[in-house]
Structure formats: structure tokens, C-alpha cells
Amino acid sequence: MAWVYLNGRFLPLEEACVPVTDRGFLFGDGVYEVIPAYGGRLFRWPHHLQRLQNSLDGIRLVNPLSDAQWRDMLEELLLRNRAQAGGDNDQAVYLQVTRGSAPKRDHCFPRDTVPTVYAVSNPIPPPDPAIARDGVAAVTLADSRWARCDIKAVTLLPNVLSRQQAVDAGASEAILIRDGLAIEGTSSNLFVVCDQRLCTPPKSAYMLPGITRDLVLELAARNGIACDETDIGASTLAQAGEIWITSSTREIVPVTRLDGQAVGTGAPGPLWRTMSELYRDYKAEVRAGRAH
């Protein structure tokens, strides 16, 4: 039985309900965050909290909780679900804030609504050894999303459709192309290795500012790995020695096949292996309380 938090209460998942008039249900009028927790410690918490605030600002919704209230609530939720799972397991927190419910369905913001706050955590499965051995496949697709992808909004239908198109083609992810540039995946950020340099697209309104993306940049700078934030043309993908996708729960995943063609040697590359080790070391520091 998983515990959830809903509007000031902790309760079993199967008992959690929201009204059908909630604007998150009717309009997708809300934002969310996904935060790993290693050894019960929220990973990159200040960064996730700031991104949540940026998303709330982007949809003109006042943050319903203080920083301390968010942390206290999520730590209690983690404690309950880790105990329920029967061990010191790693968890992924999903939290969502919508504009709440109003008696009348109207596109305009209703007056005096109370935001709906929901959170749940679930165990993070162990890494799949097949990914480290073989990597994953991806396809390129046209980016059909809106122009504010920097807001982590719950309105994800274009992402869902593109991801399913990738799965239907036997791939794990779709890399989205807009105006001739590779932007990101449907639920991941993008890195490529060209001429021994690690490159990732610069932040813009067309991409989500990934927490894992930023950590990879930090680890690269700290360890002398040449890295650039620069536009990546769609044609560059075909020439890349390595391609990675990154996210909070998938971490750093090597793409070894793109549109049916091998990337580089067709196996996870040496720079990916180096960065994966650096990332694992950082997670160990988080578990030990020496990093956040």
C-alpha cells in the first residue's frame, strides 16, 4: 500500500480522490516535479524546488506551500513509503500542483480557488544491466509541442504521442527536432559527443531545464571534460560519436541506435562510461549526506 499526500493529509493511494471539476483534470492546468531520493535524501532538492517555483510562476499560480513545508511533507512521505516497502530503498517522488476546482468550467482563471497539492513516492528500480551493455534505440521526430516547454506542465499529450510513436518503432525515446535543431527527448535532455567534446543544447523556452542535465555539466566542468552548450543540428546527430539522454529517474542513458543506424561503434561509448561513474559517485555522496 503506497501512501500519498493530498491537500494536507497523508492517506492510502486507493483512498485519494479529487473532484471532477479540478482544473488539472479538465484543462491540464497544473505543473509537476519528479525528484529522486537516495537513502531518504532528496536529490538536488534546491534545484527541483526552484524549478517548481519557476513552473508555478509560468502559469501564474501562487506556491501553496513554503520551502520548509514542502520539505517536511516530502520527507514524511518518503519515510512512510520506505517503511511500507520494507527497507532502505531509493524512491522517486512525483508531486503535482493544479489550480484547483471551480463550480463552473471556464477557460479564464476562477476566483478564490484553492490549489490541489498531490504527492506520491515509489521505489526506483535498479539499473537495467542491458542498458549499460547495449544502450537503447531512439528515433527523430518533429517537435509538435507548444512554445513553453520550459514549464514543467501536466499538459503532456504531444510528449505522450511522440513517445508512443517511438515505442511503436521499437525505440525507447524520440529526439525532437524543431527548425532543424535537435532539442531534447520527450521526457529527457540531450547530449552528444563530437570531436571529443560533450555538447548539449542551450536552455530556451523550447526545452525543459533538466536537473540531471545541469548536474552532468557540473560534473564535466569539475573533472576537466570539455563541454559546450550549443545548438545541435539534426545532421550532427548522424555524425556523433556518442548520444546520451538524461532525466532524474533514468539518469544517463546511452543511445546506440538512432533511426535504425548505429551511433558511433554501436555500443555505449567511453565518455558515457566515465560520466556514469562520476554520477554514481555523486549519488553515493548524497546517500552519505555529503552532497544534496
* Residue range 35-46, pLDDT digits in tens: 999 999 999 999
Phi, psi of 111 (to 5 degrees): -85, 145
Conformational region of residue 250, where left means phi above 0, alpha means psi within -120 to 50, and beta covers everything else? alpha
Q: Tell me if 269 sits within 8 A of 254, measured CB to CB.
A: yes
**Each residue of 86-139: pLDDT tens digit?**
666 899 999 999 999 999 999 999 999 999 999 999 999 988 999 999 999 999
Looking at residue 89, its pLDDT comes to 83
Same domain, yes or no: 133 and 260: yes
Residue at which a domain ends, from 62, 91, 123: 123
Identify which of 17, 10, 7, 32 has the alpha carbon closest to the alpha carbon of residue 81: 10
Number of domains in the chain: 2
The residues, any chain, with a CB within 8 Å of residue 250's CB and separated by 6 or more, are 188
Q: What is the CATH number of the domain that holds 254?
A: 3.20.10.10
Q: What is the CATH number of the domain that holds 10?
A: 3.30.470.10
Residue at which a domain ends, from 68, 93, 123: 123
Residue 292 banded pLDDT, cuts 50, 70, 90:
confident
Looking at residue 83, its pLDDT comes to 84
Dihedral, CA of residue 45, residue 287, residue 228 and residue 190, to nearest 10 = -80
Looking at residue 84, its pLDDT comes to 76
Same domain, yes or no: 88 and 193: no
**Each residue of 65-85: pLDDT tens digit?**
999 999 999 999 999 998 877
Same domain, yes or no: 83 and 151: no
Phi, psi of 155 (to 5 degrees): -80, 85
Looking at residue 87, its pLDDT comes to 65
**Each residue of 4-23: pLDDT tens digit?**
999 999 999 999 999 999 99
Pairing of strands 197-200, 189-194: antiparallel
Tell me how far CA of residue 237 lies from CA of 139, 255, 261, in angstroms: 11, 11, 11
**Each residue of 136-163: pLDDT tens digit?**
999 999 999 999 999 999 999 999 999 9
Q: What residues make up the domain containing 46? A: 3-123
**Annotated catalytic residue: which of 104, 152, 203, 283?**
152
Residue at which a domain ends, from 88, 123, 158: 123
Q: Is the pLDDT of residue 206 over 90?
A: yes
Specify whether 203 is catalytic.
Answer: no
Mean pLDDT across 176-180? 98
Same domain, yes or no: 32 and 154: no
- The x, y and z cell numbers of residue 244, run together, are 546520451
In a domain, 292, yes or no: no
Alpha carbon distance 148, 203 (integer Å):
12
Residue 1 banded pLDDT, cuts 50, 70, 90:
confident
Looking at residue 37, its pLDDT comes to 97
Longest CA pairwise span in the chain (Å): 59
Looking at residue 102, its pLDDT comes to 94
* pTM (two decimals): 0.96
